[in-house]
Amino acid sequence: MKNPTDRRTFLGAAATAGAFFAGRAARAGEAGKPALLGGEPVRRASFSSWPRTDARDENNLLEVLRSGRWFRGGGDKVNQFETAFAELTGAKHCVAVANGTSALTTTLSAIGVGPGDEVIVPPYTFIATVNAVMLQYALPVFVDVDPETFQIDHAKIEAAVTDRTTAVVPVHLGGSPANLDAILETASKRKLSVVEDACQAHLAEWRGRKVGTLGTAGCFSFQVSKNLSSGEGGAILTNDGDLAERCYAFQNNNRGRAVDSYNFRYVGGRATNLRLTEFQGALLLGQLTRLEQQSATREQNAAHLTSLLREIPGIAPAKMHEGVTRNAYHLYMFRYHPDAFASLPRARFLEALKAEGIPASGGYSPLNRESFLQAALDSKGFRRVFSKEVLDGYRDRNQCPANDRLCEEAVWFTQNMLLGTRGDMEQIAAAVRKIQAHGADLAKA
Ligand SMILES: *Cc1c(COP(=O)(O)O)cnc(C)c1O
């Protein structure tokens, strides 16, 4: 060191507190050149890997493998999982299915959503929510989002209801519950079913109750990216015993729960085979033992990250509705405002974050503007089922300006990034502050 005063200050600080030393090092990193412009990245280590497995998963899988009873009903793993998941969530019934999309398809079929119906959905969701509706030859009607929470704007649902509307599918996007009080009230007033798309919201809670148990039914996904995973997989929760039986029969070619292997009770109605295998049941039983602990870690880390990010001008972490008592944090979501970053475009901000060792995504693009919708509406089936007037008026009814803006501003971190340490959260915030400090240089380069 050139200057003895600097050296004394440095030694004194280091001797006083290790925390200060760490803070000083982090700030030195922030002051340095952005990694995108050739500087040192804030972080080199990768974040927690996903999916995670342990000896229990291996033993469960081997047990099924060696048994030769690989199919649902042959062994008992899927049944055991259904019982355990219902118990954990407080639902009366659980029906496992092949994936989250088939959970939605099964539920919509079982409640009788069909050709000519309209189903209210948010535009800020994974495409499966909408595909499941259209598979029934029903029209998805988009209700705009509330950009503060990223969830469906519940106050706009009622105005979208017509005499064709039979259901609303609120999505607990990112694991943060939509406003279930308001949605259930509107649904009850207008006599609509509520199918909760909880594919991202395992163990999330609304006023102390697990989501997926408050509506007519709740649908879950166990695709590998989800907080509870078996590669592919899904489940339906409901407190309605008849509905559970119809769901079970739908995914089992009209056969109800078996009494003995060929003595099924045929339930009736349209049906198909969407069964989960015993291998997936085995994986889920192991994964389920870790879900609570992992959810608690995500929640703690997310709260810390929010406390850091909300201090940064131009960063607006997604807010939660007042009734949310637990957020599953499948995604950590915030809005990015370039004005506070010397007009650095979001795409460049994402690149700069990645270069600092913080992978991030810009999330969904506007679903209600995608070409697959028009292609389906132009098909013979839809033209047979809906009047020209309804189809012609469709585009105008489905404008979602708040969602268009949200899709340009959103930034996501994936759930596995929340499974590490508080220090990981501090590095994420440090990277954002560093990019902000060098916004002008990054925008120019
Ligand atoms: C993942 C997901 C689905 C579909 O689940 P799959 O298991 O992939 O079929 C549906 N809705 C939402 C909101 C999802 O995130």
| In-domain check, residue 63 | yes
Q: Active-site residue among 191, 226, 388, 444? A: 226
Secondary structure (3-state) at 421: coil
Lowest mean pLDDT among 117-121, 293-297, 376-380: 376-380
**pTM for the complete prediction?**
0.93
**Burial letters for 65-95: b for 16+ Cβ neighbours within 10 Å, e otherwise?**
eeeeeeebeebebbbbbbeebbebbebebbb
Residues whose beta carbon lies within 6 Å of some atom of ligand 1: 99-101, 125-126, 128-129, 171, 197, 199-200, 221, 223, 234
Q: Which residues lie below 8 Å from residue 405, measured CB to CB, with a gap of 6+?
A: 147
Q: How many angstroms separate the Cα of 188 from the Cα of each of 157, 184, 193?
A: 12, 6, 8
pLDDT tens sequence across 129-178: 999 999 999 999 999 999 999 999 999 999 999 999 999 999 999 999 99
Ligand 1 centre to CA of 22 (Å) is 40
| In-domain check, residue 96 | yes
Instruction: Give the pLDDT score at 407.
Output: 98
Ligand 1 pocket test, pick from 101, 195, 283 with the greatest ligand atom count within 8 Å of Cβ, gives 101
CB atoms within 10 A of CB 291: 18
Instruction: Give the pLDDT score at 10.
Output: 37
| In-domain check, residue 256 | yes
Q: What angle do CA 58, 89, 176 make, to 5 degrees?
A: 100
Q: Which of 440, 189, 150 is nearest to 324 (CA)?
A: 150
| In-domain check, residue 356 | no
8-state DSSP, 179:
-
- Residue 226: active-site member: yes
Ligand 1 centre to CA of 221 (Å) is 5
Residue whose CA is at the smallest distance from ligand 1 atom 6? 100
Residue whose CA is at the smallest distance from ligand 1 atom 5? 100
Q: Relative to the CA of 173, which ligand 1 atom is closest?
A: 13
| In-domain check, residue 325 | no
Number of domains in the chain: 1
Q: Give the CATH number of the domain where residue 128 resides.
A: 3.40.640.10
pLDDT tens sequence across 243-264: 999 999 999 999 888 655 566 6
Instruction: Give the pLDDT score at 85.
Output: 98
Q: Is 120 exposed, middle or buried (0-12, 13-18, 19+ CB in 10 A)?
A: buried
Distance CA 313, CA 237 (A): 41
| In-domain check, residue 376 | no
| In-domain check, residue 319 | no
| In-domain check, residue 169 | yes
Side-chain half-sphere of 51: how many Cα atoms within 13 Å?
21
Phi/psi of residue 311, nearest 5 degrees = -80, -10
Ligand 1 centre to CA of 344 (Å) is 32
CB atoms within 10 A of CB 16: 10
Predicted confidence (pLDDT) at residue 30 exceeds the cutoff of 60: no
Q: What average pLDDT does the segment 218-227 reach? A: 98
Q: Which residues lie below 8 Å from residue 93, measured CB to CB, with a gap of 6+?
A: 86, 237, 238, 239, 240, 241, 243, 244
Instruction: Give the pLDDT score at 256.
Output: 86
Residues spanned by the domain of 242: 55-286
